[in-house]
A and B are shown apart, each in its own frame.
Chain A
Amino acid sequence: DQQVKQNSPSLSVQEGRISILNCDYTNSMFDYFLWYKKYPAEGPTFLISISSIKDKNEDGRFTVFLNKSAKHLSLHIVPSQPGDSAVYFCAASTTFSSGSARQLTFGSGTQLTVLP
């Protein structure tokens, strides 16, 4: 059973427009959510995160929105740039029992292509 779902395997947008990537989760115990960007043959790179006590977090061109009642989060990239083309993974976590580290559960990823 997938606890974190990214239902769109791919998304294409025009340069300068907004990219919206979506993610749904089922485990109500998740209290921290992250977005990672990944290029082929590389490890994921952290982009932005949000705690469950917030509903929005913004960092430059990237904004993450969290709707706890709907168990849904989204990543907005505006304006989109060709360099943003990559696979974007949504991840969720709960507090590890020791409080020192958190296991991440990943979605299946969305390939974003920004067209020049």
Chain B
Amino acid sequence: GAVVSQHPSWVICKSGTSVKIECRSLDFQATTMFWYRQFPKQSLMLMATSNEGSKATYEQGVEKDKFLINHASLTLSTLTVTSAHPEDSSFYICSASRPLEQPQHFGDGTRLSIL
């Protein structure tokens, strides 16, 4: 069964709206979760590492104020795309691994479409 749950699976909204995406580890505690972004027919690009109880670590070129990450509990990380614009339209995916185990398990992703 699913190990990581991501919600919602599809979002369509107007430009300027903020959108929150949730990522949950279902049967384990994840001190670290990862957020990726995928453009059509391209690879998954790591955006940030979400650390429970501390600030997220962002990859170079990812705007911290645009993509807010909150990892308030050991089973939930959220990604908020603030003031979204059409260029933010993409497929966002989170992942987590059981502590001290491999591999990373991925959520089913969120298709974000900004009109």
Chain A residues at the B interface, C-beta cutoff of 8 Å = 32, 34, 36, 41-46, 49, 89, 96, 98-109
Contacts and interface: CB of A to CB of B under 8 A. Distances in A.
Nearest to A5: B43
Contacts, number: 65
B112 to A, nearest CB: 12
A42 B105 CA distance: 12
B60 interface: no
Interface residues of B, number: 29
A34 B74 CA distance: 25
B77 interface: no
B31 interface: yes
A24 to B, nearest CB: 14
A43 B46 contact: no
6 contacts: A43-B4, A43-B109, A44-B93, A102-B104, A103-B46, A104-B104
